[in-house]
Amino acid sequence: MNETDFLNDYDPSAFQRPSVAVDLVLLGIRDNRPAVLLVKRGQLPHAGRWALPGGFVGIDESLDAAAARVLRDKAGMAEAHLEQLYTFGAVARDRRMRIISIAYLALLTEQAFDAALGAMPALLPAAIQVPWSGETGGPVNVLSPENETLALAFDHADILAMAMLRLRGKLDYSDVAFALLPELFTLRQLQDVHEAILGTSLNKPAFRRRQLDRGWLKATGAYETGAAFRPAELYRFQPSTAD
Amino acid sequence: MNETDFLNDYDPSAFQRPSVAVDLVLLGIRDNRPAVLLVKRGQLPHAGRWALPGGFVGIDESLDAAAARVLRDKAGMAEAHLEQLYTFGAVARDRRMRIISIAYLALLTEQAFDAALGAMPALLPAAIQVPWSGETGGPVNVLSPENETLALAFDHADILAMAMLRLRGKLDYSDVAFALLPELFTLRQLQDVHEAILGTSLNKPAFRRRQLDRGWLKATGAYETGAAFRPAELYRFQPSTAD
DNA sequence: TGACATATATGCAAATTAGATATATGCGGT
DNA sequence: ACCGCATATATCTAATTTGCATATATGTCA
């Protein structure tokens, strides 16, 4: 078959088509650890296992729109930082039928994370433990609130592992950290988010300087309240130029 | 609908499914500039425009396997660095029907690039000109051998733009540059590849130090031949530990 | 044999980063 | 009112990295 006419000669309606779904990694920081929201599968396959919330992509719906819909319907959330992660398409990833899944990463503030839990009580907040350092990559562990290791359904452990890898990789050159923080935050909170994602502790003065020099932070002049010690100044994320 | 049973309650056969394809960005370096291999569309839509080679994903074929098959059939290539880039799923990206495309980035050595041209004469080698600096991102220009700007079919210009952005981003923390070089290469060749992708010139001693300190380069003791000046030592890429 | 073009090595200043230390500040207890 | 506490913020120095210039080495070709 000649390449030039490939798409035209090919009649896709004559072939079986796979189903296409989106799966969401709803990620937030709880108790200074990364955490993910899971749903429990009631039926086979993988009955009783925990899974990432997902849904099929409508024929007249873009991938981003499908992800936003799942975010709305499954987490009761109007808005969140949502970015495409990777597409998983192993033939046997779902035993029932061929399903290709476009994984999305949704970043939730602690407030949004808790709100989702309140709106959808079936969601389970699970802590993520990353056993590798730096950007080595590899499997991660998912822990229930009772600190038991959870086995995820399908290839969702792979999806979650890739989400953590991506998050670490993007952390210091992109604005993802701010998607995990409320509108006003202290430099300590920002550092806590970085440390939770990286799994390391960072040098405080160096971190402050780097962040302030970046030009993304705008001091508000307001200060946190309620602390039993000197209150820190509140900052706001302000994208540099045209973003 | 309860999330827990979503996948089970949902009968995908009752719904229209999109077609799923892979599109390949066959990328190499020619004359110290990034270049891509394109195919000409013969029929509507976008008749006469240049497109990325692609093909539909078989129902029993993984995404990676589909990409490898297209690489084989359309570029006559047994092997190349192949990595998933991004999935494009706008509803109207193909006017005939809903097609979701998983874009792959294939990195070719200059030798492999030329071999593909020889095996598949319909392929056009087009130079890529990146008008933005650093990792700003944005559209890129595609130039024919006669230096005319080419309009790509569908959203393939977006795919190519994302390929260049990804390549620049990965260049200095991953091993992608080596996928564009033959097995034995000089430090100057390595620097040329970096400069072609980044669109900037780099400081030579600093570049050498950084590359040698990384620990990925293994000196062979052999030297290039045929140059009218002092020959440079040939190096080999050697992944550090377990890769 | 010597000019040439490039590889390779070395040296130093500038910039960045890590780490330690000093000072500031609001709160709570006395 | 005052002092200790825990943390924020500022400052300083050493170590590391990077940029750039310069010196030396080496094969080809006239």
Separation of CA B47 from chain center: 24
pLDDT confidence of residue B178: 97
Rounded distance between C-alpha atoms, residue B177 and residue B169, angstroms: 12
Total number of residues shown for chain A: 243
Which residues in chain A touch residue B86, judged by CB atoms under 8 angstroms apart?
84
From the list B121, B20, B55, the residue with the least C-alpha distance to A87 is B20
pLDDT tens profile A135-151: 999 999 999 999 999 99
Rounded distance between C-alpha atoms, residue B140 and residue B132, angstroms: 8
Rounded to an integer, the average pLDDT of B99-109 is 98
Rounded distance between C-alpha atoms, residue B181 and residue B211, angstroms: 15
> What distance in Å separates residue B237's CA from the closest CA in chain A?
19
Which residues sit opposite B203 in a β-bridge?
none
**Confidence tier at B243 by pLDDT (50, 70, 90):** very low
pLDDT confidence of residue A243: 43
Domains in chain B, start-ordered, CATH in brackets?
A: 12-171 (3.90.79.10), 176-237 (1.10.10.10)
pTM over 0.85: yes
Rounded to an integer, the average pLDDT of A168-194 is 95
Rounded distance between C-alpha atoms, residue A10 and residue B56, angstroms: 9
Is it the case that residue A9 has pLDDT exceeding 80?
A: no
Are A17 and B17 an interchain contact pair (Cβ–Cβ within 8 Å)?
Answer: yes
Which phi and psi (to 5°) does residue A205 adopt?
Answer: -60, -40
Rounded to an integer, the average pLDDT of B184-207 is 96
**Confidence tier at A225 by pLDDT (50, 70, 90):** confident
pLDDT confidence of residue B14: 63
- Token pair listed for B107: 């990195």
pLDDT tens profile A112-130: 999 999 999 999 999 999 9
Kindly state whether B222 is in contact with chain A, defined as any CB-CB distance less than 8 angstroms: no
Residue-wise DSSP of chain A: --GGGHHHH--GGGS---EEEEEEEEEEEETTEEEEEEEE--SSSSTT-EE--EEEPPTT--HHHHHHHHHHHHH--S--EEEEEEEE--TTSSSSS-EEEEEEEEE--HHHHHHHHHH-TT-EEEEEE--S-TT-----EEE-TTS-B-PBSTTHHHHHHHHHHHHHHHHTTSSHHHHTS-SEE-HHHHHHHHHHHHTS---HHHHHHHHHHHT-EEEEEEE--S-SSPPPEEEEE---S--
Query: What average pLDDT does chain B have?
Result: 92
Is it the case that residue A75 has pLDDT exceeding 50?
A: yes
Residues 210-239 of A with CB under 7 A from strand C: 210, 223, 225, 227-231
Nearest to A42 among B5, B61, B122 (CB): B5
Q: How far is the CA of A221 from the C1' of D5 (A)?
A: 25
